[in-house]
Amino acid sequence: MKSMNTQTRLENDLKLAMRAKDETRKRALRQVLSAIKLAEVEKGDQLSEQQVISIIQKEIKSLQESIADAKLANRPDLIKEAEAEISILKPYLPTQLSPAELESLAREAISEVGATSPAEMGQVMKVLMPRIQGRAAGGDVSQVVRKLLGQ
């Protein structure tokens, strides 16, 4: 892991994008940084590295939803813009878990909790999510847990 935290990297990269007059990179980084600042104001304190990663994930998810909407509206220009912004933001996320790694972590959590049915999924997720720490999407995690619990 780099010694510089993600938020500092985002801020430094924004300065570089401004100097380079890279509008797409500037827009993507500004959007994430403003979401981080807003969350800090609401919390009344600086965000942890994990909370910053979580905001980046939310921004990417929002851009993916924009792509889906743009496809329905037949707007290839908007699709291209959102895809470019996603490709700018993805490198700030931790390395994603492979499906096998995710399944292995899920099995560990299930056996720790002693879960045997889908009704206990919440307990498993509570143990599992802190271990995932931004390395997999929440939807993917719950899908794997559901599958392993036989739902």
Mean pLDDT, the chain, whole residue set: 91
pTM (global) more than 0.85: no
Predicted confidence at residue 77, as pLDDT, reads 96
Which pLDDT tens digit goes with each residue over 53-108?
989 989 999 999 999 999 999 999 999 999 999 999 999 998 889 999 999 999 99
pLDDT band for position 134 (cuts 50, 70, 90): confident
Domains annotated on the chain, with CATH:
6-92 (1.10.1510.10), 99-148 (1.10.10.410)
The CA-to-CA distance between both ends of the chain, in Å, stands at 37
Predicted pLDDT at 1 = 35
Per DSSP (E only), the strands in 96-141 are: none
> What whole-number distance in Å separates Cα of residue 63 and Cα of residue 55?
12
Grade residue 151 by pLDDT with cuts at 50, 70 and 90: low
Q: 117 Cβ partners below 8 Å, 6+ apart?
A: 149, 150
Distance CA 35, CA 42 (A): 11
Q: Inform me whether the pLDDT recorded for 2 exceeds 50.
A: no
For residue 130, give both structure tokens.
């802190």
- Type and span of the H or E element at 120: none
Residue 110 tokens, joined: 């299930």
Please check the confidence at residue 133 and state whether its pLDDT lies above 80.
no
Cα–Cα distance measured from residue 39 to residue 46, given in angstroms and rounded to the nearest whole number:
9
What pLDDT band is residue 136 in, cutting at 50, 70 and 90? confident
Distance CA 54, CA 72 (A): 27
